[in-house]
Structure 1
Amino acid sequence: MDSTPQDTPQEVEVPRIATGPLPPGWRYRSEVRFRDTSVTICGETRTVPQSYTVLVPVPPSNWQDTGRDLFVTSAVAAAGFAAVWFLATLSRFCHQFGVPFAPVLLGTFAAAELAWRSYRRRTGRSK
Protein backbone atom coordinates (compact mmCIF):
# COMPACT_ATOMS: atom_id res chain seq x y z
CA MET A 1 0.00 0.00 0.00
CA ASP A 2 1.12 3.50 -0.77
CA SER A 3 1.26 5.72 2.30
CA THR A 4 1.78 9.05 0.48
CA PRO A 5 -1.63 9.77 -1.08
CA GLN A 6 -3.54 12.57 0.58
CA ASP A 7 -7.28 12.99 0.73
CA THR A 8 -7.18 16.78 0.48
CA PRO A 9 -7.26 18.54 -2.90
CA GLN A 10 -4.10 20.35 -3.87
CA GLU A 11 -3.85 23.85 -5.30
CA VAL A 12 -3.76 23.83 -9.06
CA GLU A 13 -1.62 26.47 -10.74
CA VAL A 14 -3.48 28.18 -13.54
CA PRO A 15 -1.27 30.05 -16.02
CA ARG A 16 -2.05 33.76 -16.24
CA ILE A 17 -2.59 35.30 -19.63
CA ALA A 18 -0.50 38.42 -20.14
CA THR A 19 -2.84 41.17 -21.28
CA GLY A 20 -0.44 44.05 -21.08
CA PRO A 21 -1.06 47.38 -19.39
CA LEU A 22 -4.61 48.51 -18.76
CA PRO A 23 -5.86 51.32 -21.00
CA PRO A 24 -5.84 54.73 -19.33
CA GLY A 25 -9.11 56.49 -18.56
CA TRP A 26 -11.04 53.36 -17.61
CA ARG A 27 -12.14 52.35 -14.15
CA TYR A 28 -12.03 48.69 -13.18
CA ARG A 29 -13.51 46.60 -10.43
CA SER A 30 -12.33 43.17 -9.39
CA GLU A 31 -14.78 40.31 -9.80
CA VAL A 32 -14.44 36.77 -8.47
CA ARG A 33 -15.42 34.09 -10.98
CA PHE A 34 -15.43 30.32 -10.84
CA ARG A 35 -14.34 27.64 -13.29
CA ASP A 36 -14.22 23.87 -13.10
CA THR A 37 -10.80 22.24 -12.96
CA SER A 38 -9.82 18.58 -12.84
CA VAL A 39 -7.96 17.42 -9.75
CA THR A 40 -6.59 13.90 -9.29
CA ILE A 41 -6.52 12.60 -5.73
CA CYS A 42 -5.47 9.02 -4.99
CA GLY A 43 -5.80 8.17 -8.66
CA GLU A 44 -9.39 9.45 -8.83
CA THR A 45 -10.04 12.50 -11.02
CA ARG A 46 -12.71 14.91 -9.86
CA THR A 47 -13.98 18.23 -11.15
CA VAL A 48 -13.82 20.94 -8.49
CA PRO A 49 -14.69 24.63 -8.72
CA GLN A 50 -11.77 27.03 -8.61
CA SER A 51 -12.10 30.76 -7.99
CA TYR A 52 -10.13 33.38 -9.84
CA THR A 53 -10.22 37.17 -9.93
CA VAL A 54 -10.56 39.28 -13.07
CA LEU A 55 -10.68 43.02 -13.64
CA VAL A 56 -13.93 44.09 -15.27
CA PRO A 57 -14.26 47.56 -16.82
CA VAL A 58 -16.90 49.75 -15.17
CA PRO A 59 -19.14 51.51 -17.70
CA PRO A 60 -19.22 55.29 -17.55
CA SER A 61 -22.00 57.09 -15.73
CA ASN A 62 -25.25 57.46 -17.62
CA TRP A 63 -26.23 61.07 -16.99
CA GLN A 64 -29.63 60.67 -18.68
CA ASP A 65 -30.68 57.98 -16.23
CA THR A 66 -29.26 59.98 -13.32
CA GLY A 67 -31.17 63.08 -14.43
CA ARG A 68 -34.39 61.12 -14.89
CA ASP A 69 -34.06 59.54 -11.45
CA LEU A 70 -33.45 62.96 -9.90
CA PHE A 71 -36.48 64.39 -11.71
CA VAL A 72 -38.78 61.53 -10.65
CA THR A 73 -37.57 61.72 -7.06
CA SER A 74 -38.15 65.47 -6.89
CA ALA A 75 -41.62 65.07 -8.50
CA VAL A 76 -42.63 62.44 -5.93
CA ALA A 77 -41.31 64.63 -3.10
CA ALA A 78 -43.21 67.65 -4.46
CA ALA A 79 -46.42 65.58 -4.73
CA GLY A 80 -46.00 64.37 -1.14
CA PHE A 81 -45.39 67.92 0.06
CA ALA A 82 -48.49 69.12 -1.86
CA ALA A 83 -50.61 66.38 -0.29
CA VAL A 84 -49.46 67.31 3.22
CA TRP A 85 -50.01 71.01 2.48
CA PHE A 86 -53.51 70.24 1.15
CA LEU A 87 -54.46 68.24 4.23
CA ALA A 88 -53.11 70.94 6.56
CA THR A 89 -55.06 73.61 4.70
CA LEU A 90 -58.20 71.46 4.74
CA SER A 91 -57.78 70.86 8.46
CA ARG A 92 -57.40 74.59 9.11
CA PHE A 93 -60.42 75.36 6.93
CA CYS A 94 -62.55 72.78 8.76
CA HIS A 95 -61.37 74.05 12.13
CA GLN A 96 -62.26 77.62 11.16
CA PHE A 97 -65.89 76.65 10.57
CA GLY A 98 -66.13 74.21 13.47
CA VAL A 99 -66.41 71.09 11.31
CA PRO A 100 -64.70 67.97 12.66
CA PHE A 101 -61.72 67.15 10.47
CA ALA A 102 -61.83 63.31 10.55
CA PRO A 103 -65.11 62.86 8.58
CA VAL A 104 -63.93 65.35 5.95
CA LEU A 105 -60.61 63.56 5.66
CA LEU A 106 -62.27 60.15 5.36
CA GLY A 107 -64.73 61.50 2.79
CA THR A 108 -61.88 62.97 0.74
CA PHE A 109 -59.97 59.69 0.79
CA ALA A 110 -63.14 57.72 -0.06
CA ALA A 111 -63.83 59.99 -3.05
CA ALA A 112 -60.24 59.59 -4.26
CA GLU A 113 -60.45 55.81 -3.87
CA LEU A 114 -63.74 55.62 -5.78
CA ALA A 115 -62.31 57.78 -8.57
CA TRP A 116 -59.25 55.54 -8.78
CA ARG A 117 -61.30 52.34 -8.86
CA SER A 118 -63.64 53.68 -11.54
CA TYR A 119 -60.60 54.70 -13.63
CA ARG A 120 -59.11 51.22 -13.27
CA ARG A 121 -62.41 49.59 -14.18
CA ARG A 122 -62.88 51.79 -17.27
CA THR A 123 -59.37 51.10 -18.55
CA GLY A 124 -59.61 47.35 -17.91
CA ARG A 125 -56.73 47.29 -15.41
CA SER A 126 -58.44 45.57 -12.54
CA LYS A 127 -55.21 44.16 -11.09
Structure 2
Amino acid sequence: MSGMQRFLRLSAVEAEAAMKPRLVDGKWKQPLISGRKIAMVKKHATREGLMGTWEEGKGGWLETWDRPQKHHVMRPLKGHKNQRNEFERVKKVQAALAAMPTKIAEHKKAVKQAKPLKGLDKWLNEKDPY
Protein backbone atom coordinates (compact mmCIF):
# COMPACT_ATOMS: atom_id res chain seq x y z
CA MET A 1 0.00 0.00 0.00
CA SER A 2 1.48 3.35 -1.00
CA GLY A 3 1.94 6.27 1.34
CA MET A 4 -0.75 8.32 -0.40
CA GLN A 5 -3.42 5.63 0.02
CA ARG A 6 -2.50 5.35 3.69
CA PHE A 7 -2.64 9.14 3.99
CA LEU A 8 -6.12 9.31 2.46
CA ARG A 9 -7.44 6.83 5.06
CA LEU A 10 -6.31 9.01 7.99
CA SER A 11 -8.68 11.18 9.98
CA ALA A 12 -8.43 14.97 9.63
CA VAL A 13 -6.38 15.30 12.84
CA GLU A 14 -4.00 12.50 11.82
CA ALA A 15 -3.65 13.95 8.30
CA GLU A 16 -2.70 17.34 9.71
CA ALA A 17 -0.10 15.71 11.99
CA ALA A 18 1.31 13.74 9.02
CA MET A 19 1.99 17.00 7.15
CA LYS A 20 4.01 18.58 9.96
CA PRO A 21 7.52 17.77 11.21
CA ARG A 22 7.63 16.40 14.75
CA LEU A 23 10.12 16.57 17.60
CA VAL A 24 11.15 13.09 18.79
CA ASP A 25 13.76 12.70 21.54
CA GLY A 26 15.12 16.20 20.93
CA LYS A 27 15.49 15.65 17.17
CA TRP A 28 13.19 16.89 14.43
CA LYS A 29 11.75 14.17 12.20
CA GLN A 30 10.51 14.86 8.69
CA PRO A 31 6.77 14.87 7.98
CA LEU A 32 5.29 11.54 6.92
CA ILE A 33 4.08 13.14 3.68
CA SER A 34 6.54 15.18 1.60
CA GLY A 35 5.86 18.73 0.49
CA ARG A 36 5.44 17.58 -3.11
CA LYS A 37 2.75 15.07 -2.12
CA ILE A 38 1.04 17.66 0.10
CA ALA A 39 0.87 19.96 -2.93
CA MET A 40 -0.62 17.11 -4.98
CA VAL A 41 -3.31 16.53 -2.32
CA LYS A 42 -4.16 20.23 -2.29
CA LYS A 43 -4.38 20.40 -6.10
CA HIS A 44 -6.54 17.28 -6.18
CA ALA A 45 -8.87 18.77 -3.55
CA THR A 46 -9.14 21.99 -5.56
CA ARG A 47 -9.96 20.11 -8.77
CA GLU A 48 -12.51 17.83 -7.11
CA GLY A 49 -14.17 20.63 -5.13
CA LEU A 50 -13.15 19.20 -1.76
CA MET A 51 -11.66 22.42 -0.38
CA GLY A 52 -12.80 23.01 3.20
CA THR A 53 -13.68 19.36 3.82
CA TRP A 54 -11.86 16.14 4.63
CA GLU A 55 -13.37 12.77 3.84
CA GLU A 56 -11.51 9.63 4.81
CA GLY A 57 -10.64 7.63 1.71
CA LYS A 58 -11.48 10.52 -0.63
CA GLY A 59 -9.22 13.26 0.68
CA GLY A 60 -9.78 16.99 0.72
CA TRP A 61 -8.18 20.06 2.20
CA LEU A 62 -8.93 22.15 5.27
CA GLU A 63 -8.11 25.88 5.35
CA THR A 64 -6.32 25.44 8.69
CA TRP A 65 -3.70 23.36 6.89
CA ASP A 66 -2.61 26.28 4.67
CA ARG A 67 0.67 27.86 5.61
CA PRO A 68 0.30 31.37 7.02
CA GLN A 69 0.98 34.12 4.53
CA LYS A 70 4.12 36.15 5.10
CA HIS A 71 3.61 39.75 6.11
CA HIS A 72 5.93 42.04 4.19
CA VAL A 73 6.65 45.41 5.73
CA MET A 74 7.15 48.14 3.16
CA ARG A 75 10.32 50.03 3.94
CA PRO A 76 11.50 53.14 2.12
CA LEU A 77 13.97 52.45 -0.67
CA LYS A 78 17.62 52.62 0.29
CA GLY A 79 18.51 55.04 -2.51
CA HIS A 80 21.99 56.18 -3.50
CA LYS A 81 24.58 56.98 -0.86
CA ASN A 82 25.09 60.56 -2.09
CA GLN A 83 21.34 61.17 -1.79
CA ARG A 84 21.18 59.65 1.71
CA ASN A 85 24.10 61.76 2.97
CA GLU A 86 23.08 65.00 1.23
CA PHE A 87 22.13 66.92 4.39
CA GLU A 88 25.35 66.02 6.22
CA ARG A 89 27.36 66.97 3.12
CA VAL A 90 25.61 70.37 2.89
CA LYS A 91 26.30 71.05 6.60
CA LYS A 92 29.95 70.08 6.14
CA VAL A 93 30.35 72.36 3.10
CA GLN A 94 28.65 75.28 4.87
CA ALA A 95 30.93 74.87 7.89
CA ALA A 96 33.97 74.77 5.60
CA LEU A 97 32.79 77.91 3.75
CA ALA A 98 32.33 79.75 7.06
CA ALA A 99 35.96 79.00 7.98
CA MET A 100 37.36 79.96 4.54
CA PRO A 101 38.12 83.69 5.16
CA THR A 102 40.45 82.87 8.08
CA LYS A 103 42.08 80.05 6.12
CA ILE A 104 42.64 82.32 3.10
CA ALA A 105 44.18 85.02 5.30
CA GLU A 106 46.50 82.48 6.97
CA HIS A 107 47.54 81.10 3.58
CA LYS A 108 48.31 84.55 2.14
CA LYS A 109 50.34 85.36 5.25
CA ALA A 110 52.30 82.08 4.96
CA VAL A 111 52.99 82.68 1.25
CA LYS A 112 54.19 86.24 1.93
CA GLN A 113 56.52 85.05 4.71
CA ALA A 114 57.93 82.28 2.52
CA LYS A 115 59.06 84.73 -0.18
CA PRO A 116 62.63 86.02 0.14
CA LEU A 117 63.04 89.73 0.93
CA LYS A 118 64.03 92.02 -1.95
CA GLY A 119 65.46 95.48 -2.27
CA LEU A 120 65.11 97.93 0.60
CA ASP A 121 63.35 95.44 2.89
CA LYS A 122 66.31 93.11 2.58
CA TRP A 123 68.83 95.89 3.33
CA LEU A 124 66.86 97.19 6.33
CA ASN A 125 66.34 93.76 7.90
CA GLU A 126 69.92 92.60 7.63
CA LYS A 127 71.45 91.94 11.04
CA ASP A 128 75.07 92.19 10.02
CA PRO A 129 75.34 94.46 6.94
CA TYR A 130 79.18 94.31 6.80
Q: TM-score range by the shorter chain?
A: under 0.3
Q: Which has the larger radius of gyration?
A: 2
Normalization by structure 1: what TM-score?
Answer: 0.28
Normalization by structure 2: what TM-score?
Answer: 0.27
More helix, by proportion: 2
More strand, by proportion: 1
